[in-house]
Chain A
């Protein structure tokens, strides 16, 4: 592995970008978390870039920090971060010209015990699809497909997963795609906000959030990494993402010009599971 080499290249590039004034902020990682975890950090001054780090513990998705500053922002982007940037651009949340993507070829992140993260095991995109600069890693071979996971789709599984959930919403906060000003779960009127957090509200939250992310998930696994309770709710969005890919030939964040699947339609879209038609449209 050559994290150090990549790190030095990224740091040199960030320094230059900041010094030249090409960007005013660099969103990246620094060291200092417990159990070797790298911390998101916003670099604004070239000297500070010495703190920048790049290792196998750069877990969080950095897209939450892209807005807010003045001037352009550079992001030290894992392939999934880069896909999230692309998705945000295609959803008109960011402008391409405001963001400088420093893409890194990535072989996956690991947890505190050094085991690869589940989302990284399943990941099939180890090179950012869109970037301004690419920091390559010749040791990493191009992936063609991630590990296939079969889903247990029983109600028991779903109930077992949501029973662990404490409705703290950290998966929502960690997700690049959850940028609604007020989440439906926080609305008091009409009363979507959970009255008493039981299974019903958890189902509403997880199913509602998954629907919002249908066709938008960039498979970064930030939701799962953020969860302290160990809830594997990502299996829902994985199934939906694959389904959308299959049906509408769309994967979020791969192509700046592609229109998001749920924001477009075709007259001949298949109607799977509709009454009076289990095949092509009318």
Chain B
């Protein structure tokens, strides 16, 4: 169903009565997702420098509190309504869900937020500099990994719901009562310059594939890329104590930092910056595909645009791809 952007604002106002509303806001210097009123929320085609991942996997999340010899679990989050996740962010969330909830153990903190949040995706109209979703099989305009999907026509939105949660939310607001269920659409077929690593080469083979030190020599090792990446999901546990009460937090960490894998003995399996960059790249393009059948890079281009020295993961992936099995 096609609706105007004003109707959408009305719907967001309706949602904000019961949930914390999150959306992209122009802060003057950057665009970022944060708590916002329906009128502040941007409905144009610009992209934020960080993704929506922090509302599912916050930079800092309190897990437990130890006090007087007892441990207490953190309360369940109230749940937000998140507006404006781009298809690359939504596909990234799919990767994160696979990592955090499949296998023998599930991450309860991600799970709770995933269940509590209402996610409204918005398709892109045009690619931005550095974007490469088409090279990793992500459809710029549409993703079904959300509760409600809006395809942006510039003037208004074509609205569809993709989950029961989405259907209910739309149903409660009269102007959007009759929105239909969205289709599970296939992404456009991969293009000739698709970025994917050949399964024919072993993981160890990729270690020798290129001169990693030369290819990554200008990387400064700041780890910004993993902070702004929608799929980077590595974390550390940190304790903070005060007056005998200890809080245990789950905090973002980055494989780009030398301390990430450092053992107490001083041994570090990934000693060099090149090895750490290689880990980040192969994790996205080889290890997650091996484990979950998904590419852990959704082409959002944030790392490409954000890197202080202009490191471009596409160029390094291409170099690796040139190696024949």
> Which residues of A come within 8 Å of B, CB atoms?
32-35, 37-42, 59-60, 64-65, 112, 164, 166, 168-170, 172-174, 186, 188, 194-198, 222, 225-226, 228-230, 232
Complex formed: what's the CA distance from A34 to B309 in Å?
11
Taking the closest CB of chain B, its distance from the CB of A226, in whole angstroms, is 3
Give the interface centre of A35, A174, A228, A230 by most chain B CB atoms within 10 Å: A228
**Chain B 286-325 per-residue mask, 1 if CB under 8 angstroms from chain A, else 0:** 0000000000000001001110111110010000000000
CB-contact partner of B218 in A34, A40, A229, A230, under 8 A: A40
In the complex, the chain A residue whose C-beta lies closest to that of B226 is A168
Taking the closest CB of chain B, its distance from the CB of A69, in whole angstroms, is 10
Question: Would you give 13 A-B contacts (Cβ < 8 Å), ordered by A?
Answer: A32-B315, A34-B129, A39-B312, A60-B310, A168-B223, A170-B223, A173-B222, A194-B238, A195-B239, A196-B238, A197-B60, A225-B308, A228-B49
Query: In terms of DSSP, what is the predominant structure of the interface of chain A?
Result: loop
* Residues of chain A lying within 8 A (CB to CB) of residue B222: 168-170, 172-174, 226
Query: Is there contact, CB below 8 Å, between B310 and A32?
Result: yes
Query: Is there contact, CB below 8 Å, between B251 and A197?
Result: yes
Query: Is there contact, CB below 8 Å, between B218 and A228?
Result: no
**A197 and B59 in contact (CB under 8 A), knowing A34-B129, A164-B27, A186-B259?**
yes
Complex formed: what's the CA distance from A198 to B251 in Å?
11
Complex formed: what's the CA distance from A65 to B222 in Å?
14
In the complex, the chain A residue whose C-beta lies closest to that of B217 is A42
- Interface size grouping (class) on chain B: 35 or more
* Residues of chain B lying within 8 A (CB to CB) of residue A173: 220-222, 308
Taking the closest CB of chain A, its distance from the CB of B239, in whole angstroms, is 7
Query: Is there contact, CB below 8 Å, between B309 and A228?
Result: no
- Cβ of B30 within 8 Å of any chain A Cβ, yes or no, is yes
CB-contact partner of A60 in B28, B254, B257, B309, under 8 A: B309
Give the interface centre of B224, B310, B311 by most chain A CB atoms within 10 Å: B310
Taking the closest CB of chain B, its distance from the CB of A229, in whole angstroms, is 6
**Chain B 27-48 per-residue mask, 1 if CB under 8 angstroms from chain A, else 0:** 1111010000000000000000
- Cβ of B228 within 8 Å of any chain A Cβ, yes or no, is yes
* Residues of chain A lying within 8 A (CB to CB) of residue B60: 196-198
Query: Is there contact, CB below 8 Å, between B129 and A35?
Result: yes
14 further A-B pairs in the complex, CB-CB below 8 A; given A34-B312, A60-B308: A32-B310, A34-B301, A39-B309, A65-B218, A166-B227, A168-B227, A173-B308, A174-B308, A186-B259, A188-B259, A228-B228, A229-B30, A229-B50, A230-B29
Query: Is there contact, CB below 8 Å, between A42 and B218?
Result: yes
Interface residues of B in 234-288 (CB under 8 A from A): 238-240, 247, 249, 251, 254, 257, 259
- Cβ of B130 within 8 Å of any chain A Cβ, yes or no, is yes
Taking the closest CB of chain A, its distance from the CB of B50, in whole angstroms, is 8
